[in-house]
Amino acid sequence: MSHREELAEIVDGLTAPRKHVSPKYFYDERGSQLFDRITELPEYYLTATEIDIMQRHAREIADRVGPQASLIEFGSGSSLKTRILLGHLHELAAYVPVDISEEHLLAAADAIRAEFPHIEVLPVVADFTKPFDLPSPKVMPVRNLVYFPGSTIGNLEYDDALGLLRVMHHEAGDNGALLIGVDLQKDPAVIEAAYNDAAGVTAKFNLNMLRRLNNEFGADFDLDAWAHDARYDPDAGRVVIRLVSDREQQVRIDDTTIEIDEGEAILTEYSHKYTLEGFAAMAAKAGFEVAQVWTDPDELFSVQYLLRRQEPRYED
């Protein structure tokens, strides 16, 4: 997407009846650094819990996958979770990280090559929300294993999450599988604390989106006029993350002036939490069958292994 197309997308969101900006605009250099700090906070259980699950069950996961798989990661693979998996999978045919950001992807691929020189690394620059062409490894894989850690699936609304699972189903191919991180429904106080940390790092991360719109898209947001707000909606099973205006104000971006009322909000992100049954039902519509689930002792988070079965269902 070009800069002009991104600008049009942002303006459309800010002039909609319910103002919103895509969470992809969190991640400039400062935003990425702030998110790294979030993952280390005591309240933010997701990252540490998923890593613990991967470390405790890596051999079992590898045995489930079997030898000579091609690991296809949706998103660039520079994290500890990816390294745990690469260090345990049996006779890996290839590692295929997929990301839309070419510079970041190639840097991550080079780092993996240096650490795992025996593994063929074949990065693919693509928007993984749409089907893409897979490279041909030197060693023919027995199966494709799509990998999507971090509970990023939770940032998508139901139809978009289902659509992404259908793309994963396509890329997995015959005899393929999916390994995915899925955050679980739990005590609302635990969930809300993870998005309202005492140190205020998540608030800075949320507000950094407006800083980025100012710096890269010519907006004139007054960062002091906005407050971070994150609340769990148990009926919808999701955290609603917003920036709330503390005054009546005008914001200008490109050639557009946006009128904002006191108390009006910009939606910046959802974070959906699933039941095991609810996620399995959605995955089944995408053509996957849950074969095994690994959780932590408190059942805060899950890593799930799904097998590609029937074709996706497209009926309502």
- The pLDDT of residue 77: 66
Question: Is the domain of 156 the same as that of 281?
Answer: yes
> Same structural domain for residues 69 and 212?
no
Q: Directed axis angle between helix 3-14 and helix 201-217, to 10°?
A: 120
Answer whether residue 60 is part of any domain: yes
In this structure, the answer to whether residues 88 and 218 fall within a common structural domain is no
Same domain, 69 and 207: no
- If asked whether residues 71 and 169 sit together in one domain, one would say yes
Q: pLDDT by residue (tens digit) across 70-85?
A: 999 998 766 889 999 9
pLDDT at 43 over 70: yes
Residues 181 and 282 in one domain: yes
- Kindly state whether residue 1 falls inside one of the protein's structural domains: no
Residue 315 lies in a domain: no
Same domain, 78 and 205: no
Which is more confidently placed, 162 or 3?
A: 162
What is the four-CA torsion angle of 75, 77, 83, 89, rounded to 10 degrees? 60
Residue 147 located in a structural domain: yes
Q: Does 316 map to a domain?
A: no
Q: How many CA atoms lie within 13 A of 232 on its CB side?
A: 18
Q: What is the CATH number of the domain that holds 100?
A: 3.40.50.150
Residue of 126, 130, 134, 142 lying closest to 177 (CA atoms) = 142
For 302-312, the pLDDT digits (tens) are 999 999 987 87
- 248 and 147 share one domain: no
Between 14 and 32, name the one with better pLDDT: 14
Q: Is residue 80 part of a domain?
A: yes
**55 and 119 part of one domain:** yes
| Distance from the Cα of residue 2 to its chain's centroid | 22
Write the burial class of residue 61 (CB in 10 Å: 0-12 exposed, 13-18 middle, 19+ buried): buried
Check whether 316 has a pLDDT greater than 60: no
* 278 and 234 assigned to the same domain: no
Total domains in the chain come to 2
Q: 99 with 248, same domain?
A: no
Q: Is the pLDDT of residue 221 over 70?
A: yes
Closest-CA residue to 169 (of 205, 190, 150, 144): 144
| Domain assignment of residue 3, yes or no | no
pTM of model > 0.85: yes
Domain co-membership, 148 together with 297: yes
Q: Which domain holds residue 221?
A: 18-41+189-272
pLDDT digits (tens, 9 = 90+) for 92-118: 999 999 998 888 899 999 999 999 999
Mean pLDDT of the chain: 95
**What is d(CA 241, CA 236) in angstroms, rounded to the nearest whole number?**
13
User: What is the pLDDT, as a whole number, of residue 100?
Assistant: 84
pLDDT of residue 79: 82
Residue 9 within any structural domain of the chain: no
Q: How far apart are CA 58 and CA 71, in angstroms?
A: 14
Q: Which residue has the tokens 């605009």?
A: 25
Q: Is the per-residue pLDDT at 26 higher than 70?
A: yes
Is the predicted pLDDT of residue 315 greater than 70, yes or no?
Answer: no
pLDDT tens profile 165-206? 999 999 999 999 999 999 999 999 999 999 999 999 999 999
- Write out pLDDT tens, residues 120-167: 999 999 989 999 999 999 999 999 999 999 999 999 999 999 999 999
Quick one: pLDDT at residue 311? Answer: 80
